[in-house]
Amino acid sequence: MTRSTRSYVLAALALAGSLTLGACAGAPATPGNGQTPGVPGGEEARAQLCGTGPNSLQNTATGLLGVNQDTDEAQVRELADQVRQPLNDLQVTGAEQTARDAASTALDQLEAAMANPATRQTAATGAAGALRSLHDVLCQ
């Protein structure tokens, strides 16, 4: 390799390296969308679900326990929907994942039972129990 060819190769490598570093420097270190393990969004979901606000597991479970065959369908959907996104954003493994999956399944069953007032209360009670179980595993 001649001296001038080596200079071109070194210059090309230096340029490629600086472009790579520049691209990485412009990217956020961790996206906050909660969809990737270890990102802040997953912790935000946990904080919301374990908190005391209206979208917490405990408050949603309490609201679902109050559902009966006369409860407005839109009200029941609103209760269920307020925890769906944080559940989806939650980054968990092991027992926490099992409890989260059970809660999601119970909410899906509630959604399916929504049209029938006779089964709505039973499904809401089941979903409330699953949300409380998730709280016990996730928030201790």
User: Are 85 and 133 part of one and the same domain?
Assistant: yes
Q: Are 127 and 50 in contact (CB under 8 A)?
A: no
pLDDT tens for residues 88-116? Answer: 999 999 999 999 999 999 999 999 999 89
Same domain, 43 and 90: yes
Contact between 82 and 91 under an 8 Å Cβ cutoff? The reply is no
102 in the same domain as 118: yes
Query: 6: domain range?
Result: 1-30
Are residues 118 and 77 part of one domain?
A: yes
In this prediction, residue 100 carries a pLDDT of 96
Residue 110: give its domain's CATH number: 1.20.120
Residues 37 and 79 in one domain: yes
Total tally of structural domains belonging to the chain: 2
Q: Do 39 and 92 have their domain in common?
A: yes
Which of 59, 30, 61, 46 is CA-nearest to residue 92? Answer: 46
What pTM was estimated for this model as a whole? 0.70
At 55-82, the pLDDT tens digits run: 899 999 999 999 998 999 999 999 999 9
* Token pair belonging to 91: 């980054």
Same domain, 77 and 38: yes
Residues 45 and 76 in one domain: yes
Read off the pLDDT of residues 1-57 as tens digits, 9 standing for 90 and up. 555 444 444 444 444 444 443 444 443 333 333 334 444 568 999 999 999 998 899
Do 39 and 12 fall into the same domain?
A: no
Give SS3 for 19.
helix
| CA dihedral for 68, 128, 84, 104, sign (positive or negative) | negative
List, in order, residues 6 or more apart from 128 with CB less than 8 Å away.
60, 61, 62, 64, 65
Q: Is the domain of 70 the same as that of 85?
A: yes
Q: Are residues 26 and 40 in the same domain?
A: no
